[in-house]
Structure 1
Amino acid sequence: MRLIDRHLLTATAGPFLFGWFVITFLLMIDVLFKYVDLFVSKGVPFVVATRVLGLSLGYTFALSVPMAVLVGVLMGVGQLAADHEITAMKASGLSLWSLARPLFVAAALICATQVAYNHYVYPRSNHTLVNLLQDIGRQKPMLEIREQQFTDLNEELTIFVRSKDDRTGMIGDVTIFEKGQPADPSPRLTIAERGRIIPDHDNDLLRIELEDGEIHEVPPSGEPGTYQLTRFRRHNLVVEDMEQDFQVSERTARSDREMDLTALKAAAAVERGHQDGVRDRVRELAAGVLEHQWQTLAAPGRVELVEAGQDVSRPRRQLLDSHFRASRQKIERATEQDRYQSRLLESYRTKENKYRVEFHKKFAIPAACVVFVLLGVPMAVVGSRSGRGISVTLALAVFLVYYAFLMGGEKLADRGRVDAFIAMWSANVVLTAVGIPLFVRTVREGGPPSLVSLLRRPSARGASAGNA
């Protein structure tokens, strides 16, 4: 390694570590505010609360490292430029590209390390964190259920409520998904207009009383093309083993952010298979409805009515009315089933999108380290000429743009509006498109003009035009 390369890396290493510490600290403050109500309301022991905060570092490291790279380049290279060391190096015959090359190599190594971290460390730490939070949540499940959020009451039961009154326990617009069990493999979807949550602390139970709803049940795999719909005025659901004392458990199920790259790829393939199965059932359902409607168009004769079990002693008009009424009921049931299959297809598609988004995110965010070096070097030169305030402003602007692209793209991809690959890599592509011409111009003799001079030029032109 050349002495100059070592000098550049040393100059940026300190600001990088400083930026990593500050950004991680700021992110952890947000995490602390997020969990402080949970810790207080649940009476979480100090050791457990400390472990939750420690495991939360896994998520913050995934974001803070790329940001720290930009901070390190801006502060390190900016200080060298302010001290005219960059100018002296260029005067000795070294190009800015040869000076920045060790920074790109270091950023590539950090990128590879982050990809390995996202594959091996982050999913396991996040899985442990989610298990710990669920153990905490089971202490007082009434407090854990929140509006507009999915809540896992246990491994088989997930609830979503649009409105909730913590004082009375009343909930509105309730959706409950029950996963299949070995004894009863049929999953159920329960929808109710309103309900009430009643904790039974003596028996470690949680009673959910529902009103005015319906239960959709998928039959076993041996009966494709049918399903069961049950409407109810009142329905009671009991969730057992809701521990009131903190107990550590191990949850086998994993969400998208708890999976490594291999598991995400496999999970997305499974969801695509489920979608293919739903499409096949919809095609079979449509074919059956068309065939049934075609048969209904022709009025049945006496033999057909006898074979259908109709009482032929009644007048023919009554027999036909009964026949068409039965046909209409079959079509209505088929319509209900088609709606359910459509919702099921959308659910599988959403899950696949989430898995694909998380898969590409594990590569896209680490790749930002290289992109930030591409942007950071010319921005550091601009900052050295225009002042540190401009440099900090540019860094914040880059962070906001990247975060907006990342979060907005994730939401659009989850809804199926944008492909997951485009959503996760768009921020890197846009910033690279901005960084390449800026870096090339900086490599040229003289480098880019300062932002202050760029802002002064329009006013100078206006003044000269006024004097003319």
Structure 2
Amino acid sequence: MKKLDKLILGSFLGPFLLTFIVVDFILLTVNMLKYFDEIFGKGLSFWIYMELIGYFVISISPMALPLAVLLSSLMTFGNLGEHFELTAIKSSGISLLRALRPIGVFVIVLAFGAYLSNNYLVPKVNLKTFSLLYDIRMKSPALDIKAGVFYAGIPGYSIKVNEKVGEFGLKDILIYDHSDGRTGNLKVTLADSGRMEPFFNENYMKLSLYHGQNYRESKPTRGIVEKPVEFDRISFDTNEIVFDLNNTFKLNRTAEDAWSTNRSIKNISQIKVGLDSIGTLVNEQLFRSFQEAESIYPFFTRDRKFKPSAKIAERKFLDDSIRMAKMNREKELLDSLEQSKNLAQKDTSSILVDKPESRTLTTNSDSLIIDKKTVTISNEVSSNDSLFLKPTSKNEQKVEIKLAELDTNLNSKKQVVKVERTAALTEMERERIDSLVENRGYEKSAISMALTNSRNLKNSFNIKMSQIDNYQREYRRYQIAWYQKYTQAFACFAMFLIGAPLGAIIKKGGLGMPVLISIIFFIVYYMLTITGEKWAKEGIADPLFGTWFSNLCLLPFGLFFVRQARKDARLFEPDFYLAIWKSIKNRFKVLGSKAH
């Protein structure tokens, strides 16, 4: 590596690390504020908070990297231009693109690392983050009883204390006991003073009450006239209540498998599997819609069918073939297991089975039902007057049944012959049919039945449409999660193309102008990203275009700034725009003179 590359890269790494830490801290603060009420004030240990903060830092890093690259590259080339180092580099015959090469190579490596992090590290961290956040949300707040306020942190109890003495002392205590699940304040405890303190490694809390009364009233039965309900009042000098805090105030960790269906915790290969599954569901709903519509209109579908499109039919055939292949494979595995179990059993030539199940034999479309009798299971064919049942599986043996024992009535069955009429209806027959239709209300019944079928079809189609719309929305979200793993990595390179030439044009370093311009471009990038993703979620635009929308909009700006930086354009100086205005005025004067 040449000295120039070391100089430029060394001047870039320091601001990059600093800005990345600052940006990550800002995004971490914004992200933590959303869960402030849910995670704080629950008496969690310091290491639980550090674990959650560590997960948040890793999960928001893909968003912090583009802004850090933009700000650090702008500051680096702004400092080089402000101290005339960039001018010296150009005067020595080195082009701007050659000066951008060391940082460009570093940003490309950084983008590739960001892609690997998005695909492998961030999904695992998101899984742990969701699990820990859920556990923290489910945890009850820390035991903090305040004077004059009802405390309902302990399930089944509502406690009010008018005064607190020291760390554990209480005065003027009122307790409503709802631990039995009954509604109403039927169990009340009053005490002059008390003491609440934890014991047994803070797994239990003991509430000692002094000089008070317990009031208990039975719940009346509604709708039944009876004598007044029972009411008890017990006075006590000392009463102790023990609360189990293991399930109330302890943090119970949920198994991470509970979040296995969330797309944020999947890598690209897992997202592709999810896309295939959702695509199968959508195609199945579309195929069933054609079948149900065909069954509702039997008159119009007598000679034709509602055939789905070739794409839907091909996908249905593919899904069915894959499903059948899986079923056959599972069946082969089960057959092999059963065969291995039966290898140890000794085969016998004949086995008598008492009271077997009835079997149905089909011969020339006539069914013969065999009554429950004792039959002989044989492996050999002995004579022509016996009927052998074909085994249904490899493990079954042939069943020999004597035909003489069967009571068949095939010859006595009546044959029904249908003759189609070709002659037209007579006038008398038509009048009779019309009278039947009018007098018995067949026409009204047919109309009402048609209306009912139409309403049912409409409701069925509306339900199908909502289901398909939900599946398609989820399908697009999976696509967005897939493409985001590439777009967030490419955003680092796009921000470098904007920041480095802008710094060379501005020629000012520090935290003034570079920070202002970086924030403006990052806000524009964030707004374009949100807009594109919203278009993709709603189906207005293709998910591929929606996720790449922000990069496609900012990439021309980067190429424009690179071109202007190579020409040493002064985009941020008034003289540059005055010269453009003068050239426009001169062109209008020339055009006016030619017109005259």
CA–CA separation in structure 2 for the residues paired with 1:70 and 1:125: 26
Give the Å deviation of 1:201. 8.1
CA–CA separation in structure 2 for the residues paired with 1:244 and 1:327: 59
Give the Å deviation of 1:332. 2.3
8 A contact 1:386–1:451 mirrored in 2: no
Alignment match, 1:249: 254
8 A contact 1:138–1:244 mirrored in 2: no
Alignment match, 1:258: 265
1:138 pairs with 2:168:
no
Q: Out of 49-58 and 26-35, give the one that drifted further.
A: 49-58
Evaluate the alpha carbon distance shift between residue 201 and residue 333 of structure 1 in structure 2; reply closer, same or farther with a 3 A threshold: farther
Equivalent of 2:503 in 377, 380, 385 = 380
Q: Out of 34-43 and 11-20, give the one that drifted further.
A: 34-43
1:419 pairs with 2:424:
no
8 A contact 1:127–1:254 mirrored in 2: no
Equivalent of 1:367 in 490, 510, 514 = 490
Query: Per-residue CA shift, 1:195-215, capped at 9, x if unaligned?
Result: xxxxx9878xxxxxxxxxxxx
Give the Å deviation of 1:397. 1.8
Query: Per-residue CA shift, 1:43-71, capped at 9, x if unaligned?
Result: 55543333222211122111111211111
Correspondence list, 1:50-449, <5 A = 50-139=50-139, 244-245=248-249, 246-250=251-255, 251-291=258-298, 316-384=439-507, 389-444=512-567, 447-449=568-570
Correspondence list, 1:33-44, <5 A = 33-40=33-40, 44=44
Amino acid at match of 1:71: L
Q: How many residues align?
A: 349
CA–CA separation in structure 2 for the residues paired with 1:122 and 1:406: 19
Give the Å deviation of 1:395. 1.2
CA–CA separation in structure 2 for the residues paired with 1:110 and 1:244: 45
Q: Residue 60 of structure 2: SS of its match in structure 1?
A: helix
Give the Å deviation of 1:355. 0.7
CA–CA separation in structure 1 for the residues paired with 2:565 and 2:579: 22
Amino acid at match of 1:382: I
Evaluate the alpha carbon distance shift between residue 410 and residue 14 of structure 1 in structure 2; reply closer, same or farther with a 3 A threshold: same
8 A contact 1:111–1:366 mirrored in 2: yes
RMSD of aligned alpha carbons = 3.0
CA–CA separation in structure 1 for the residues paired with 2:136 and 2:459: 39
8 A contact 2:570–2:576 mirrored in 1: no
Evaluate the alpha carbon distance shift between residue 320 and residue 417 of structure 1 in structure 2; reply closer, same or farther with a 3 A threshold: same
Q: Which runs of 5+ in 2 are unaligned?
A: 142-177, 182-246, 303-435, 587-596
Q: Which runs of 5+ in 1 are unaligned?
A: 142-199, 204-242, 296-312
Relative to the length of structure 2, the TM-score reads 0.54
CA–CA separation in structure 1 for the residues paired with 2:180 and 2:48: 25
Q: Out of 325-334 and 5-14, give the one that drifted further.
A: 325-334
Q: Residue 291 of structure 1: SS of its match in structure 2?
A: coil
Alignment match, 2:578: 457
Query: Per-residue CA shift, 1:86-137, capped at 9, x if unaligned?
Result: 1111111111111111111101000000000001100000011111122233
CA–CA separation in structure 1 for the residues paired with 2:7 and 2:525: 30
Give the Å deviation of 1:455. 6.8
Q: Residue 573 of structure 2: SS of its match in structure 1?
A: helix
Evaluate the alpha carbon distance shift between residue 52 and residue 292 of structure 1 in structure 2; reply closer, same or farther with a 3 A threshold: farther
Q: Residue 532 of structure 2: SS of its match in structure 1?
A: helix
Max radius of gyration: which structure?
2
Q: Residue 440 of structure 2: SS of its match in structure 1?
A: helix
CA–CA separation in structure 1 for the residues paired with 2:37 and 2:564: 51
CA–CA separation in structure 2 for the residues paired with 1:382 and 1:394: 12
CA–CA separation in structure 2 for the residues paired with 1:52 and 1:106: 30
8 A contact 2:78–2:507 mirrored in 1: yes
Relative to the length of structure 1, the TM-score reads 0.68
8 A contact 2:77–2:509 mirrored in 1: no
Q: Identity of aligned pairs, percent?
A: 22
CA–CA separation in structure 2 for the residues paired with 1:398 and 1:202: 60
Alignment match, 2:233: none
Alignment match, 2:32: 32
Amino acid at match of 1:12: F
